[in-house]
């Protein structure tokens, strides 16, 4: 069964996909067979596949868009879906201006659904076996330069100098994001016991509930220790539990809050197109490879299931090398 694209790409899917212009017209209630199978598919994604909330919502939004289109063609059950129906739906999405990345996500959604439906004997044959989507454009991720990172950490240290809890937390979060390359969702899910301060390693629960251990350096260790000693106790409350990072009201920090912190810092630089916490992940991976780290080691640190996903960072490193060559060599 195909695992589909990375959940990070699904999380960028328009949550209103089912109401997009490709499905223009007055919305109608879906046939009961479709709503029932969507509920079953949700349980499968959340349970057996252990997909994140973002990914589940993206899968279901795409599926609802397909079912809405199919219902307009007179189709009332998943068993009536045919390859032609799927192609016409994707064609409508393309005509509505959907990007190749969005069409690829929709295709992966349908393939995952029909494969599951076939296994559950909800359909007799899999109509998506020969469904093709345009190849996704692979753009090089934004990477921060060392000088830019230095300015970020300098700003964070200055803000945390007076010992206020939120600046201490923000410095520790950003240091840890860059030191380990973990995803922002993984950061938000960390507990205090996930830290091994003696070995300076972090136990991370990644996609599909896969656990990995990631090392971090002295600057991150110092920032996290400062947060635990001087910052966290000022925010901790009865409902804080074991969460490593807390919000202003004492609850576990959520991804939105962490994204907002990083977004503000990057915008403050004024000289980068990098956006969001993933820029720190991209930068960590690229800098590791630039420093001579083994590709397999970087794959393990990032928690990629496929080495092909990690290899995009080698492309970044090569581009940086070429840029340096063109700038420095007299006959470049």
- Tell me which residues are annotated as active site: 183, 207, 278, 281, 304, 313
What is the dihedral angle through the alpha carbons of 256, 261, 262, 266, rounded to the nearest 10 degrees? 130
| Dihedrals phi, psi of 150, to nearest 5 degrees | -60, -40
User: What is the C-alpha radius of gyration for the chain, rounded to an integer number of angstroms?
Assistant: 23
Please, which residues have CB within 8 angstroms of residue 16's CB and are 6 or more apart in sequence? 61
* DSSP class per residue in 121-158: TSSSS-TTTT---PPPP-PPPP---HHHHHHHHHHHHH
Q: Strand pairing partners for 215?
A: 201
Contact 284, 179 (CB under 8 A): yes
Of 228, 194, 198, 224, nearest to 212 by C-alpha is 194
- Contacts (Cβ under 8 Å, ≥6 apart) of 171: 153, 156, 157, 159, 160, 223, 226, 227
Q: Which residues pair with 203 in a beta bridge?
A: 213
Q: How far apart are CA 56 and CA 60, in angstroms?
A: 6
Which residue, among 108, 107, 304, has the nearest Cα to 208 in the 3D structure? 304
């Amino acid at each position: 069964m195909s695992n589909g694209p990375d959940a990070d790409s699904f999380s960028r899917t328009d949550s209103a996909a089912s109401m997009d212009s490709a499905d223009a017209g007055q919305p109608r209630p879906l046939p009961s067979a479709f709503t029932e199978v969507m509920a079953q598919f949700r349980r499968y994604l959340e349970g057996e596949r252990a997909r994140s909330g973002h990914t589940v919502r993206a899968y279901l939004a795409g599926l609802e868009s397909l079912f809405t289109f199919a219902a307009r063609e007179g189709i009332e059950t998943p068993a009536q879906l045919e390859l032609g129906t799927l192609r016409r739906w994707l064609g409508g999405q393309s005509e509505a201006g959907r990007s190749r990345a969005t069409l690829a996500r929709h295709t992966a959604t349908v393939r995952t659904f029909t494969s599951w439906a076939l296994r559950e004997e909800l359909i007799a044959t899999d109509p998506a076996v020969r469904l093709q989507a345009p190849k996704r454009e692979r753009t090089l991720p934004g990477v921060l330069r060392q000088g830019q990172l230095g300015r970020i950490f300098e700003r964070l240290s200055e803000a945390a100098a007076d010992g206020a809890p939120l600046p201490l937390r923000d410095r520790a979060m950003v240091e840890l994001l860059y030191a380990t390359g973990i995803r922002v969702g993984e950061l938000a899910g960390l507990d205090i016991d996930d830290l091994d301060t003696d070995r300076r390693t972090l136990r991370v629960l990644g996609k599909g509930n896969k656990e990995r251990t990631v090392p971090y350096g002295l600057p991150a260790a110092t920032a996290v220790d400062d947060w635990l000693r001087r910052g966290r106790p000022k925010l901790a409350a009865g409902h804080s539990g074991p969460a490593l990072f807390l919000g202003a009201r004492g609850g576990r920090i959520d991804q939105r809050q962490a994204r907002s912190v990083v977004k503000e810092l990057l915008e403050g630089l004024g000289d980068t197109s990098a956006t969001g916490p993933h820029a720190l992940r991209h930068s960590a991976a690229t800098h590791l490879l630039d420093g001579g780290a083994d590709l397999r080691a970087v794959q393990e640190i990032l928690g990629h299931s496929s080495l092909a996903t990690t290899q995009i960072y080698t492309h970044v490193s090569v581009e940086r090398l070429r840029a340096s060559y063109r700038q420095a060599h007299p006959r470049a």
